[in-house]
Amino acid sequence: MAEPLLRCEGLTVDYGAGEGLQRAVEDLSFHIDRGEAFGLVGESGCGKSTVALAIMRYLGSGGSVSAGMIRFQGTDLASLTPSQLRRLRGAEIAMVYQDPLSSLNPVMTVGRQLMEVPLLHRTRDRRQARELALGALAEVELADPESMLGRYPHQLSGGQQQRVVIAMALIAEPSLLIMDEPTTGLDVTVEAAVLALVDRLRRRHGTAVLFISHNLGAVGRLCDRVGVLYAGRLVEEGPLRQVFDNPRHPYTRGLLACLPSVDRDRRSRRLVPIGGALSEASRLAVGCAFADRCRHAVDGLCTGQPILLEPVTDESGHSVRCVLSDRLPDFRWPAEDASPLTEGIAAEPVLTAIGLGKRYDLPRPAGGRSSITALQGVDLQLERGRTLAIVGESGSGKSTFARIVLGLTVATEGEVDFHGANIARLSIGRRSRDLRQRLQMIFQNPDSTLNPSHSVGYALERAVSRLHGVRRSGRRAAVARLLQLVQLPAALAERMPDELSGGQRQRVAIARALAAAPEIVVADEPVSALDVSVQAAVVNLLQDLQAEQALSLIFISHDIALVRYMADQVALFYRGHVVEAGPADAVFAPPYHPYTRMLLASVPDPFARSTAAGPREAGTVSSQEGGRGCPFAARCAWRVDGLCSEVDPPTLEPSDGHRIACHLGLQELPRDIAST
Amino acid sequence: MTDIADIAPLAPATPARGGRRLRLTRAGWVGVAIIAFWTSMALLAPVLPLPAPNASDLAALANPLPSAAHWLGVDLSGRDILSRIIWGSRTVLTVAPIAVAGATVMGALLGLLAGYYRGAFDSVLSRISDVILSFPVIILYMIILTRFGASALNIVLVITVTKAPIIYRLVRAMTLELAGREYVAAAQMRGEGAAYIMLVEILPNARGPILVDVCLRLGYTTIAIGVLGFLGIGLPPPTPDWGGMVRETYGMISLYPHMAIIPCVAISTLVIGFNLLAVGLRRRTRRG
């Protein structure tokens, strides 16, 4: 058999030494053939980034490869001298990291950074290097490569920056491209475009890709084979479709079962979180590291003896590290255990936005003023006990809407009707306690949602006493009740936030928002910073609490699958405008607004059978200012020249309560989401 | 309906990582030891078997160098240097902490207000602090202390006013950043007052850098007090004062160097002690 491009054999990586020794990766073996895309998936802390660093020999002083070896094109990487290694990096193996800005030098133009690579690795003159740089920019499908050469990184959008980084990685024509979470932090449509680009490039140049991600959908889009890492060990490996369609390891099954999917909502399926958490003890255990979270685990069989990665019977190339895999029942989607719903409650509106707008005035250095429109003409309605999901890319105004509702900022036009009062211009300082108590918020970032100087108990006590006026004697009981509500042990009240996991902190934040039995809770990306298994548990908690307390929820998210799962009503924001709104079932079914269609086509869904390429990024958001016309016109494939960018689109009503703002007639609107 | 299984077990409490207990590097502990030494000297001065700091032993003037009777020798008036150093530490260790405490309280409060409210208030305060910081401090000391007299109170006041802008800038910058945190928005949404948000939500999270800066300010203030004494605008004689001791004896430095060098060493060790403590604290706070 021919030697694969990259082969890891029994790779073990440790950080620290002696008592502080931490095993990040243990006995990892896999290979990547020439031109193949291999996906490495796992949750945070599973060691996936360490693998990339070990291959590049970038582990630093803290980490070391303590066993095993990495062979690249037949050469043991550990045997290379520093100068041989330098030649290898960049020329043969290139790396793309998560944050493009940290890979780009802010004080150098894109052109100089691109030209550096050929100038360093091959003896080329400047003119040739410039030609190469131009070619690379054209290849990553950036418009107007000539002017791009002269730009600085901060003048580019996130998607453009990541394209430049990819161009830099590919310019020396490496045979292996390592990508560590390259699309995390990008908007879905941009992510889809970047993934499609990488896929085209690797097919054209025969570049092998090691794609590291927590996002199963993204891996599913790009990869031929996939490996699942848990606690530093490869628990399952094989061809993509075999692993995703017929997962043999309980952990892989768990990961798949806790994902929401675009074509399923909570009426048909409840997310199934993986119970427990990875503990340090099980990480060090001799047997299966997943045993204490696995419901199939058998004492003595799964623990106490080393468990090997063994081929799955009847499936070539598919192996699994589980002694029970042959005895496990076939993988089925979790039973039709629907989440509790609030449909018994009569649909009456609790909050109505009418023509809501927000403009920020910016003083101009040259004198005079200019303004940025963050929100314009937003009409929305939230019904009691229901979930209104707000979807949009970064900068679409979805957070501005939430902040106006909560009084953290005030609107410049329009109104928000709440029980007959207009609260659009009522800042938080001018709101009565009663009003504040009825509208609460769950924040996005688990690291800054709780004050690191205050214990969990103090944070909750304060919320209870300020919003509910609970007396000192009753506070302790109220805190215990709140913790119980979010399924946390009462002892947690003594802990400081830095002693909690991200999921636990987000639960405390939910408890804090619910301290005074609010009517409306605004959740701004409440789970986007959490691992999928934790995310599922927090989503379920939110759903249960909503059903129990008849909460009305404004759920802000960029995750379409999650929105599909959670929402009763959906509103799609694009550059401050609502382009489509209505009942979730109607919005996610044809006809679509062209933007909705683009979003749906971009969702990386591991359950999708085809690896159809996503839409190309048809232009990027232009900086045109508060002008007339359809906000989406610049990126729209159905654009009617001379109409869309000039005249405000009319509102179409394909069905009751379903609104689409578009110049296309009802019959002309896109109806399928297959690639164009 | 409860997914009991999804409750993650409590992460083990890790006191080693807990941010509440103060942990120092080795250098920091050396600083603590030096400061503790001087503090105990200052506290024990009345009970130590020392000659009175202002008593002249004219007989010793014949040979002012260190001897069995006067371990560090005597000065030009025949006063015991060891005794004056130890009694002099009381001056520094009272004036410096009080002045720095004053500067910290003033700087932190104004910094919180400016960083939280921003706007015109912030602009005015920031310009005032720029003016104070750009003015040569020594000249300011001389003008104020010669005009109003060199009492302990005036020294404290003048140091408070000149050091407060430094703390102000630090706290203002931290407040600007911390005021955007989500927990501050959460506090606003439960109707907390501005004072509560500034003092309970924001200030505790700025305490690490403030503490480091306070230690640095203590060191610089020790130097400032020495300079004032040396310029003759410190505490009026015959109060034992390290800077004043150098001033009285520096003319004799070629003949009897110990008279001027010993108080200089005292000043240096205390300054180094404060700086080591600051460095030790900084390492720890940066990591947390």
Contact flag B189-A450 (C-beta cutoff 8 Å): no
Contact flag B186-A279 (C-beta cutoff 8 Å): no
pLDDT band at A616 (very low <50, low <70, confident <90, very high): very low
Q: Which of A54, A59, A61 is nearest to A10 (CA)?
A: A54
- Answer yes or no: are the C-beta atoms of A149 and A134 closer than 8 Å: yes
Query: pLDDT of B44-60, one tens digit each?
Result: 988 888 888 888 878 87
Using CB atoms, pick whichever of A279, A433, A448 lies closest to residue B183. A448
Average pLDDT score over chain A: 84
HEC string of A342-380?
CCCCCCCEEEEEEEEEEEEEEECCCCCEEEEEEEEEEEE
Query: pLDDT of A143-188, one tens digit each?
Result: 788 888 889 988 888 888 888 998 888 888 889 999 998 887 778 8
Question: What residues pair up with A180 in beta bridges, in sequence order?
Answer: A212
3-state secondary structure of A325: coil
Chain B nearest-CA distance from A279, in A, is: 8
Residue A469 contacts B, CB cutoff 8 Å: no
Give the residue from A320, A340, A371 where a domain finishes.
Answer: A320
Q: Check whether A610 has a pLDDT greater than 70.
A: no
Contact flag B189-A440 (C-beta cutoff 8 Å): yes
Chain A nearest-CA distance from B174, in A, is: 15
Contacts of A296 in chain B (CB under 8 A): none
Best residue in A448, A483, A486 for a mutation probing chain B (most B CBs within 10 Å): A448
Residue A236 lies in a domain: no
Best residue in B1, B2, B6 for a mutation probing chain A (most A CBs within 10 Å): B6
Residues 526-585 of A with CB under 8 A from B: 534, 536-537, 540-541, 544
pLDDT band at B3 (very low <50, low <70, confident <90, very high): very low
Q: Check whether A354 has a pLDDT greater than 90.
A: yes
3-state secondary structure of A246: coil
- Closest-approach residue (CA) in chain B for A405: B189
Contact flag A488-B3 (C-beta cutoff 8 Å): no
* Structural domain span for residue A202: 34-57+80-230
Using CB atoms, pick whichever of A277, A454, A491 lies closest to residue B8. A277
Contact flag B2-A544 (C-beta cutoff 8 Å): yes
Q: What is the mean pLDDT of residues B232-258?
A: 85
Q: Who wins on pLDDT, B266 or A534?
A: B266
Q: Which of B170, B176, B214 is nearest to B198 (CA)?
A: B176
Q: What number of other Cβ atoms are within 10 A of residue A305's Cβ? A: 12
Q: Check whether A28 has a pLDDT greater than 70.
A: yes
Q: Check whether B9 has a pLDDT greater than 90.
A: no
Report the half-sphere exposure of A581 (CA within 13 A, side-chain side). Answer: 18
Residue A244 lies in a domain: no
pLDDT at position B265 = 95
Share of chain A above pLDDT 90, in %: 25
Residue A44 contacts B, CB cutoff 8 Å: no
Using CB atoms, pick whichever of B18, B192, B207 lies closest to residue A466. B192
pLDDT band at A367 (very low <50, low <70, confident <90, very high): low
Contact partners, residue A91, CB within 8 Å, separation at least 6: A121, A172, A174
Residue A495 contacts B, CB cutoff 8 Å: yes
Question: What residues pair up with A354 in beta bridges, in sequence order?
Answer: A415
Measured distance CA(A549)–CA(A511) in Å, rounded: 13
Chain B nearest-CA distance from A187, in A, is: 22
Contacts of A436 in chain B (CB under 8 A): 189-191
pLDDT at position A516 = 82
Residue A503 contacts B, CB cutoff 8 Å: yes
Using CB atoms, pick whichever of A273, A340, A459 lies closest to residue B3. A273
Residue A237 lies in a domain: no
pTM (2 d.p.):
0.82
- Closest-approach residue (CA) in chain A for B180: A448
- Closest-approach residue (CA) in chain A for B183: A449
The domain that holds A422 is classified in CATH as 3.40.50.300
Query: pLDDT of A292-343, one tens digit each?
Result: 888 888 877 888 788 888 888 777 889 998 888 877 777 665 555 555 555 5
Residue A14 lies in a domain: no
The backbone torsions φ and ψ at residue A117, rounded to the nearest 5 degrees and listed phi first, read -60, -55
3-state secondary structure of A593: coil
Q: Who wins on pLDDT, B208 or B1?
A: B208
Chain A nearest-CA distance from B128, in A, is: 24
Report the half-sphere exposure of B45 (CA within 13 A, side-chain side). Answer: 18
Using CB atoms, pick whichever of B11, B192, B205 lies closest to residue A501. B11
pLDDT at position B7 = 41
CB neighbour burial string for A232-241, b if at least 16 within 10 angstroms, e if fewer: bbbbbbbbbe
Specify the range with the lowest mean pLDDT, choosing from A361-375, A453-467, B29-43. Answer: A361-375
Quote the longest CA-to-CA distance of chain B.
95
The residues spanned by each domain of chain B are: 70-287
Instruction: Sort strands A552-557 and A387-391 into parallel, antiparallel or unpaired.
Output: parallel
Q: Are residues A385 and A501 in the same domain?
A: yes
Best residue in B190, B198, B205, B287 for a mutation probing chain A (most A CBs within 10 Å): B190
Q: Who wins on pLDDT, A353 or A258?
A: A353
Residue A448 contacts B, CB cutoff 8 Å: yes
pLDDT band at A607 (very low <50, low <70, confident <90, very high): low
Contact flag A340-B1 (C-beta cutoff 8 Å): yes
Residue A578 lies in a domain: no
pLDDT at position A611 = 42
Contact flag B182-A448 (C-beta cutoff 8 Å): yes
Average pLDDT score over chain B: 86
Measured distance CA(A654)–CA(B138) in Å, rounded: 79
Torsion angle of C-alpha atoms A573, A578, A579, A582, degrees rounded to 10: 100
Q: Which of A19, A25, A72 is nearest to A51 (CA)?
A: A25
- Closest-approach residue (CA) in chain B for A461: B190
Measured distance CA(B74)–CA(B80) in Å, rounded: 5
Residue A80 contacts B, CB cutoff 8 Å: no
Q: Which residue has the tokens 């309970």?
A: B200
Q: Check whether B8 has a pLDDT greater than 90.
A: no
CATH code for the domain defined by B70-287 = 1.10.3720.10
Contacts of B15 in chain A (CB under 8 A): none
Contact flag B8-A498 (C-beta cutoff 8 Å): no
Measured distance CA(A32)–CA(A241) in Å, rounded: 17
pLDDT at position B132 = 92
Burial group, residue B76, by CB count within 10 angstroms (0-12, 13-18, 19+): middle
Measured distance CA(A217)–CA(A214) in Å, rounded: 9
Q: Are residues A191 and A293 in the same domain?
A: no
Winning range, highest mean pLDDT, from A521-535, A602-616, B201-215: B201-215
CB pairs under 8 A between A and B: 108
3-state secondary structure of A415: strand
Number of domain units in chain A:
4
- Answer yes or no: are the C-beta atoms of A317 and A238 closer than 8 Å: yes
Chain A nearest-CA distance from B183, in A, is: 5
Winning range, highest mean pLDDT, from A46-50, A386-390, A484-488, B136-140: A386-390
Measured distance CA(A63)–CA(A50) in Å, rounded: 9
3-state secondary structure of B9: coil
Contact flag A512-B186 (C-beta cutoff 8 Å): yes
Residues 320-349 of A with CB under 8 A from B: 340
Residue A204 lies in a domain: yes
Query: pLDDT of B156-197, one tens digit each?
Result: 999 999 999 999 999 999 999 999 999 999 999 988 999 999
Contact partners, residue B132, CB within 8 Å, separation at least 6: B161, B162, B164, B165
User: One-letter amino acid identity for A563?
Assistant: V
Q: What is the mean pLDDT of residues A638-664?
A: 87
Contacts of A443 in chain B (CB under 8 A): 182, 185-186
Using CB atoms, pick whichever of B2, B6, B188 lies closest to residue A273. B6
Residue A24 lies in a domain: no
Q: Check whether B154 has a pLDDT greater than 60.
A: yes
Residue A275 contacts B, CB cutoff 8 Å: yes
3-state secondary structure of A555: strand
Q: Which of A249, A357, A358, A362 is nearest to A296 (CA)?
A: A249
Instruction: Sort strands A577-583 and A658-661 into parallel, antiparallel or unpaired.
Output: antiparallel
Measured distance CA(A456)–CA(B13) in Å, rounded: 14
- Answer yes or no: are the C-beta atoms of A520 and A551 closer than 8 Å: yes
State the angle between helix axes of A594-602 and A188-205 in degrees (0 to 180), rounded to the nearest 10.
60
Contacts of B205 in chain A (CB under 8 A): 451-453
Q: Are residues A432 and A511 in the same domain?
A: yes
Contacts of A527 in chain B (CB under 8 A): none
Share of chain A above pLDDT 70, in %: 91
Query: pLDDT of A103-129, one tens digit each?
Result: 889 899 999 998 888 887 766 788 888
Specify the range with the lowest mean pLDDT, choosing from A15-24, A308-317, B123-132, B216-225. Answer: A15-24
- Answer yes or no: are the C-beta atoms of B263 and B246 closer than 8 Å: yes
Query: pLDDT of B77-127, one tens digit each?
Result: 888 899 999 999 998 999 999 999 999 999 999 999 999 999 899 999 999
Contacts of B13 in chain A (CB under 8 A): 495, 499
Contact flag B205-A448 (C-beta cutoff 8 Å): no
Using CB atoms, pick whichever of A453, A487, A504 lies closest to residue B205. A453
Contacts of A454 in chain B (CB under 8 A): 204
- Answer yes or no: are the C-beta atoms of A137 and A167 closer than 8 Å: yes
Using CB atoms, pick whichever of B5, B11, B201 lies closest to residue A451. B201
Residue A73 lies in a domain: no
E-strand ranges in A184-330 read 208-213, 225-230, 233-239, 310-311, 319-320
Q: What is the mean pLDDT of residues A269-292?
A: 77
Contact flag B18-A496 (C-beta cutoff 8 Å): yes
Chain A nearest-CA distance from B135, in A, is: 30
Query: pLDDT of A68-112, one tens digit each?
Result: 889 999 888 888 888 888 888 878 899 888 888 888 898 999 999
CA angle A641, A647, A653 (to 5 degrees): 105
Contact flag A453-B1 (C-beta cutoff 8 Å): no
B interface residues, A as partner, C-beta within 8 Å: 1-14, 17-20, 181-183, 185-192, 201, 204-205, 207
